[in-house]
Amino acid sequence: MRDIIVSLLLLAVMPTCFRKPFVGMLVFSLLAYMRLQDLTWGFARGIRWSFYVAIITFSGFFVSTRERRFMIQDIRSTIMMVLVVLVGLSILKNRGPDPADLPGFVEFTKIVVIALFTTGLVSTRERLRMILWVIALSFAFFGFKSGLVGILTGGQTQIIQGPGGMLNDNNDFALALGMGIPMMVMLGTSERREALRRPLLVCVPLTMITILMTHSRGGFLAMGLGIFVMILRSRNRIAGFVMIGIMGLGGLLAAPSNITERLSSIGEYEEDSSAQARFAAWRVAGVMIQSNPLFGVGFGHFQDNYNIYDPARKDAELQLHGSHVAHNSYLQIWAECGTPTFLLYISLILLSFLDLWSVRALAVRRYHSSWILNYTTMFEASLATFTLGSVFLNRAHFDLFYHWVALILAFTTIARQHMSDPAFYPKVKVGERGVLHAVSGSGFNRRLRRDGFTRRRAGVQT
């Protein structure tokens, strides 16, 4: 029955995806992050729904008379396209035209194309809000469901596998949920409708519990950094840190021993075989980089070359543990694809941070821009979560990262347009309408003005 419902729902929405490509983008995002197809058990599970939705959406875009921009012209868009070329060259240089490499390369190309397409379709604030809500609700769904199971079982249940797709691995699942927490907090605190705001905020602590249930120490540390950034950007930092401290202390006291023991092992890395295996993998990655600085060992071939470059092959314990992946996104892309690819990858992260900080600097000088500050904090905290989580996880080609870079580019473009439009932000002298205070973009600010799906007239905060 569930297969029939999901199939009929997706088939019914496909004509709309053709007529309105942005709806297709929303459906594609829902399939990517909520994994509707993986919530079934029968025939619908094996159908390539994302592929069909993508084909229909792109077809609708190219015949549409309303959608004219495929992507935003920006250095980050150029970098992503160059990354595709360099990844292809890394394969050809090391393996030649091997058909076995084609699926991985096509998948990476698809990720980049979808990201570029996102920058073109997300052209208004309303569209930006809708796609962010789709992603946030997708993560909130899994956070709520798994977190509730964790409470009912006393935290004894361990999540060893995510819902599927790019979230299949428990570490990837924890990283994605960690990036989702700032979305839930900032979108929830900005929403004016209680029916939307409260359920989303309720999912935040449950999502934290879910991350703990994955036993991913990297995911836990990344989640902590994202929360730290949100508090740091708030006006009431002391209250925020005190609240998180109380919640953390209470959580540790209430957490079962299997979770506390796992987290306490973070400081015992010298005695932890998993941590030592990571260090060994990092050393092997360093040898690969020194031997192949330009094009690496080939996209997706770190594991194939591990034993060739392993300086500690006689270490029986490490060999038994089987650590043959990089366990570090930065070293992964550097060792597999070479130094130029690595530098471009790092530049995507740095340029995104710089763009967000630039928009924040402009927004804090204006009085009617609370949604911009809120979104800036959200994007910054989520990107910081990914940046730290990538130190411990093998996710250089994580779908969500490239999609997030695209959404940051779309957001900063829209934010600058809004701040330069006098219809949205008219110049008002102090004293003309009373003393106006800049509104901080933090969910911990009680005086934060709500700003949901209801539009306001020009001249009033929007």
Token output for 415: 């934010």
- Dihedral, CA atoms, 278, 216, 301, 111, nearest 10 degrees? -150
Burial readout 253-277 (b: 16 or more C-beta within 10 A, e: otherwise):
eebeeebbebeeeeeeeeeeeebbb
107 within some domain? yes
Q: pLDDT by residue (tens digit) across 335-371?
A: 999 999 999 999 999 999 999 999 999 888 875 556 8
Q: pLDDT by residue (tens digit) across 139-197?
A: 999 999 888 888 888 767 777 777 777 777 888 889 999 999 999 999 988 888 888 88
Length of the chain: 462
Domain hosting residue 375, numbered range:
69-264+340-418
If pLDDT is split at 50, 70 and 90, which confidence band does 438 have?
Answer: very low
> Could you give phi then psi for residue 161, rounded to 5 degrees?
-155, 140
461 within some domain? no
Percentage, residues of the chain above pLDDT 90: 41
Task: Supply the pLDDT for residue 431.
Answer: 45
In sequence order, which ranges of 68-124 are alpha helices (DSSP H)? 75-95, 102-121
Q: With contact defined as beta carbons under 8 Å apart, do 230 and 241 qualify?
A: no
What is the average per-residue pLDDT within 63-79?
88
CA distances from 116 to 38, 102, 121, 183, 391 (A): 26, 21, 9, 21, 25
Task: Supply the pLDDT for residue 217.
Answer: 85
What is the average per-residue pLDDT within 91-114?
87
Task: Supply the pLDDT for residue 19.
Answer: 92
Task: Supply the pLDDT for residue 180.
Answer: 93
Q: pLDDT by residue (tens digit) across 372-390?
A: 889 999 999 999 999 999 9
Q: pLDDT by residue (tens digit) across 5-41?
A: 889 999 999 999 999 999 999 999 999 898 888 888 7
Same domain, 242 and 391: yes
* pLDDT of residue 229 exceeding 80: yes
DSSP 337-365: H-HHHHHHHHHHHHHHHHHHHHHHHHHTT
239 within some domain? yes
230 within some domain? yes
Please give the model's pTM, rounded to 2 decimal places: 0.85
Lowest mean pLDDT among 76-85, 243-252, 319-328: 319-328
* pLDDT of residue 234 exceeding 60: yes
Between vectors from CA 399 to CA 322 and to CA 358, what angle results, nearest 5°?
120
Same domain, 283 and 363: no
59 within some domain? no
More confident of the two residues 407 and 99: 407
Closest CA to 388 of 353, 363, 430: 353
If pLDDT is split at 50, 70 and 90, which confidence band does 455 have?
Answer: very low
Mean pLDDT of the chain: 82
Same domain, 282 and 373: no
* pLDDT of residue 261 exceeding 90: no
The Cα–Cα gap between 341 and 298 comes to 12
52 within some domain? no
85 within some domain? yes
Number of domains in the chain: 2
Task: Supply the pLDDT for residue 38.
Answer: 81
Same domain, 236 and 298: no
* pLDDT of residue 332 exceeding 60: yes
